């Protein structure tokens, strides 16, 4: 049995399988690798549903549910305050906060364009017919102010301007308990500081708890393309130092079968999506409960409940938290909180993709262009693998020399496959041939190739990054299919420069592979195709050197 032929057929078959999987996803069908249950789209979210949301939890000895508490609070006498959206604008975000509940209802990222409509910016938090995505906070433990309570906004500047920060202060009082929410936005920063001050103006001690929660619908995002959109998703996540990163699933939350850390004094909760993340990060070393819950049809919550202790009459207690809502940029994520860089998902090849991206970042710091970074990175990989490639090509040349002997063995034992294999192994041993030697260059590069695919899928740093001319986004397919065409030509030349396979069937397969891969590359990120095009061009030069300088003359003569 020709082992090399088998390996190449496996690669060929997997390529077709990936192509079919991409076609299925492009047409709205589930992936054969990670099928997802379609969610029922909720055209509009009732006000009562969007205003409820945390899981049942016990705090300060009183069992309470934020949604239930909010409803109870709405039934008590309180000043009627009109809903008003206050817009805060900095150099990187534009946020809308509602005076009802102090909810963060819309967040626009001013430095990132929408993946489908480049005339608009990316919007994370939103409440519309297509999307429900909110950040909510409030108090538990009594009829206290929460995310359904009317707040009064203190006058102040709403635009960053030439300053370094801008604040929004909201106040609400209910049953003698005053809650002051202070949102602080800083220049060039996607972190929003959220401070809660609780003042007990009543005559009795209280034991409130603060809840921080992210609310999201479970509707599957629209795919941006056959392969370029394969990374689209929405998912809650939880991190603690003891249980580490846990990515959750809306369907399991709906069924009550999700499993995650329930209590901690550290960590964060988040809502993930492709390239972006929002997360509540409470102050460290503060006891908290962690919850997930299905709030309503197609509506889910993930959050924390933090006891604030006993507050005596006339006293005030405070609790700080941070809300990060922005891009998954590696350098920023690592500095925000322990484990926060894990929201950037490199897939199953993280162990290779993460250091690979680090190397590319160092190159990018010198070049300033991600396209040229890929070119230089490819050259570096090719130089590193040159000795192995040279050995592989020598092996292929030697295989060609002993082809007549191999054909004789096949003819002699054509009716006895077992003896044929034994005789072939003896021939390899006698001639000192490694039957997989010619496959090593391809096999070694496959993990790099697949890891680069995940780097391009996960790295917002490359989202919208141009190379030259027509390539304006390295994470999207080539709009003019120029790179796939160049790849096909370079692959054909590379194939012709290789020693011809001994097996006629294998030779035909090798001739068809450039066409198959070219069609598949129509749908791959252009940055990935750029890597492979540069790799092939370098292979042409490399093979010339090997054929003319490294392969022994006797092998070339006999081949």
Cα 50 to Cα 215: distance, rounded to the nearest angstrom: 8
- How far is the CA of 92 from the CAs of 89, 112, 192, 434, 555, in angstroms? 8, 9, 12, 57, 63
Per DSSP bridges, beta strands 121-123 and 191-200 are unpaired
DSSP state of 402: T
> What proportions of the chain, in percent to the nearest 5, are helix, strand and coil?
40, 25, 35
Q: Which residues of 72-81 are buried (b: 16+ CB within 10 A; e: fewer)?
A: bbeeeebeee
pLDDT of residue 37: 38
Q: What domains, with CATH codes, occur in the chain?
A: 47-76+84-343 (2.70.98.90), 353-385+438-558 (no CATH)
The string of pLDDT tens digits covering residues 429-456 is: 887 776 666 566 667 777 887 888 888 8
The two structure tokens encoding residue 335: 């500095």
With a cut of 90, say whether residue 557 has pLDDT above it: no
The string of pLDDT tens digits covering residues 44-78 is: 333 333 334 444 443 333 334 454 343 333 344 45
Confidence category of residue 470, pLDDT binned at 50, 70, 90: very high
DSSP state of 549: I
**Phi (first) and psi of residue 173, to 5 degrees:** -135, 135
First to last CA, the chain: 22
**How many residues does the structure list for the chain?**
559
532: left (phi over 0), alpha (psi -120 to 50) or beta: alpha
The string of pLDDT tens digits covering residues 497-528 is: 765 665 666 666 767 777 777 888 888 889 98
Q: Which residues contact 272 (CB under 8 A, 6 or more apart)?
A: 233, 234, 235, 236, 237, 247, 343, 345
DSSP state of 387: H
The two structure tokens encoding residue 463: 């989202």
**Phi (first) and psi of residue 153, to 5 degrees:** -90, 130
pLDDT of residue 69: 40
């Amino acid at each position: 049995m020709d082992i090399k032929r088998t390996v190449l057929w496996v690669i060929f078959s997997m390529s077709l399988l990936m192509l079919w999987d991409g076609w299925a996803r492009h047409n709205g069908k589930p992936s054969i690798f990670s099928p997802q249950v379609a969610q029922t789209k909720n055209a509009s979210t009732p006000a009562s549903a969007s205003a409820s949301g945390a899981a049942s939890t016990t705090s300060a000895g009183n069992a309470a549910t934020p949604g239930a508490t909010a409803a109870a609070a709405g039934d008590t006498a309180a000043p009627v305050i009109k809903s008003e959206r206050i817009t805060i604008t900095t150099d990187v975000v534009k946020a809308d906060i509602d005076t009802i509940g102090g909810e963060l209802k819309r967040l626009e990222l001013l430095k990132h364009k929408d993946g489908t409509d480049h005339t608009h910016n990316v919007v994370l938090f939103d409440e519309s017919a297509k999307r429900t995505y909110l950040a909510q906070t409030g108090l538990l433990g009594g009829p206290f102010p929460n995310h359904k309570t009317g707040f009064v906004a203190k006058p102040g500047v709403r635009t960053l301007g030439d300053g370094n920060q801008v604040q929004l202060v909201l106040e609400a009082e209910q049953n003698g308990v005053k809650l002051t929410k202070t949102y602080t936005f800083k220049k060039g920063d996607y972190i929003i500081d959220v401070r809660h001050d609780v003042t007990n103006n009543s005559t009795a001690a209280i034991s409130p708890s603060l809840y921080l929660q992210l609310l999201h619908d479970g509707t599957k995002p629209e795919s941006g393309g056959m392969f370029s959109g394969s990374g689209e998703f929405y998912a809650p996540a939880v991190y603690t130092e003891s249980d580490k990163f846990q990515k959750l699933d809306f369907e399991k939350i709906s069924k009550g079968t999700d499993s995650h850390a329930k209590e901690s004094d550290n960590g964060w909760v988040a809502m993930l999506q492709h390239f972006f993340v929002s997360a509540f990060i409470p102050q460290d070393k503060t006891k908290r409960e962690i919850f997930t819950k299905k709030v309503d049809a197609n509506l889910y919550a993930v959050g924390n409940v933090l006891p604030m202790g006993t507050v005596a009459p006339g006293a005030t207690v405070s609790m700080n938290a941070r809300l990060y809502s922005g891009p998954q940029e590696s350098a920023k994520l690592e500095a925000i909180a322990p484990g926060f860089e894990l929201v950037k998902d490199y897939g199953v090849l993280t162990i290779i993709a993460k250091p690979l991206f680090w190397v590319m970042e160092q190159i990018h710091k010198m070049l300033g262009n991600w396209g040229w970074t890929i070119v230089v990175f490819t050259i570096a990989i090719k130089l590193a693998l040159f000795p192995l490639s040279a050995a592989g090509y020598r092996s292929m040349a030697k295989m060609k020399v002993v082809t007549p002997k191999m054909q004789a063995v096949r003819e002699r034992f054509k009716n006895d496959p077992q003896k044929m294999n034994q005789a072939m192994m003896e021939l390899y041993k006698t001639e000192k041939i490694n039957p997989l030697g010619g496959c090593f260059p391809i096999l070694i590069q496959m993990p790099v190739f697949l890891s680069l695919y995940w780097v391009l899928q996960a790295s917002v740093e490359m989202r919208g990054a141009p190379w030259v001319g027509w390539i304006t986004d390295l994470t999207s397919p080539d709009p003019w299919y120029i790179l796939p065409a160049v790849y096909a030509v370079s692959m054909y030349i590379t194939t012709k420069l290789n020693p011809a396979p001994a097996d006629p069937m294998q030779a035909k397969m090798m001739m068809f592979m450039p066409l198959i891969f070219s069609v598949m590359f129509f749908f791959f990120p252009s940055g990935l195709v750029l890597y492979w095009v540069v790799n092939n061009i370098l292979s042409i030069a490399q093979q010339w050197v090997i054929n003319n300088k490294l392969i022994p003359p006797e092998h070339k003569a006999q081949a």
